[in-house]
Copies of this chain bind each other. A is one copy, B any other.
Amino acid sequence: MSPKVVDKQKKRDRIIRAALKVFSDKGITEFKMIDIANAAGIGKGTIYEYFSSKEDVITGCFEIFMHDFGDILASGLGEKSNPKEKIINFFKLSFQYFSQHQEAMSVLFDFWAAGIPRKHGTPLIPSMKYEYFEFQKYLAAILEDGIKENYFKPHDTQTTALIILAVLDGLMFQAVLGVIDIEDKSLPDKISNTLLEGISNE
């Protein structure tokens, strides 16, 4: 009377991991459902037991992706370091994460593009804007602390937070393009130094 039973969550996760791998090989615009099935070692129909549609797989992956990355940052930027160190570490941790998950980087840009609102129709990933605001708030809070504690001069922290995110986005793009080397350990320092000290003479 007891039926066959599997760990639904675990299997869903296995499909997502397979999907992320497929995304990095073929890109979000090119992959087929059968690719994921093959990568996960299951039948195509089985995917539909865990996801309602192709779109659902993509958004599911995006959520896992952002969640993972957010966790890395939150646990890496502990309370022990000062605001200046936090900003430096933000870049270090990001670079580290992406160099350990090279396949995630190119996927990121497909997600980015899929989050762009179009004149007609909803973006594929509507939560993108929300996620972005979360990161902005997080960074702006660090900057505010830094001003209070005299590490930073008073400035528009919301805008600076966006600049920091912009730099990170742009650099990840350059890494995927092959313009910079994500493994270059001196890069995070150079970047944070530029942002902190500027390039102007005096």
**Chain A contact residues, CB within 8 Å of chain B:** 24-27, 29-30, 84, 106, 109-110, 112-113, 115-121, 128-129, 132-133, 136, 143, 146, 150-153, 155-156, 159-160, 162-163, 165-171, 173-174, 176-180, 187, 190-191, 194-201
A196 near B190: Cβ-Cβ < 8 Å: no
Separation of A121 and B155 alpha carbons in the complex (Å): 46
**Other CB < 8 Å A-B pairs besides A169-B169, A170-B170, 12 of them?**
A25-B120, A26-B118, A26-B120, A29-B29, A112-B112, A132-B177, A153-B200, A155-B199, A166-B174, A196-B198, A198-B198, A198-B200
Separation of A20 and B180 alpha carbons in the complex (Å): 29
State the Cβ distance, A129 to closest chain B Cβ, in Å.
5
State the Cβ distance, A25 to closest chain B Cβ, in Å.
5
State the Cβ distance, A32 to closest chain B Cβ, in Å.
13
B132 near A106: Cβ-Cβ < 8 Å: no
Residues of B within 8 A of A113 (CB): 27, 29, 109-110, 112-113
Separation of A195 and B24 alpha carbons in the complex (Å): 33
Contact of A177 among B115, B118, B155, B198 (CB under 8 A): B115
B171 near A162: Cβ-Cβ < 8 Å: yes
Separation of A176 and B123 alpha carbons in the complex (Å): 12
State the Cβ distance, A28 to closest chain B Cβ, in Å.
8
Separation of A117 and B179 alpha carbons in the complex (Å): 12
Given A112-B109, A116-B27, A143-B199, A162 and B177 contact (CB-CB distance below 8 Å): no
Those 10 A-B pairs whose CB atoms lie nearest each other, nearest first = A166-B170, A198-B198, A169-B170, A196-B200, A113-B113, A197-B198, A29-B29, A170-B170, A153-B201, A166-B171
Residues of B within 8 A of A119 (CB): 24-25
A179 near B151: Cβ-Cβ < 8 Å: no
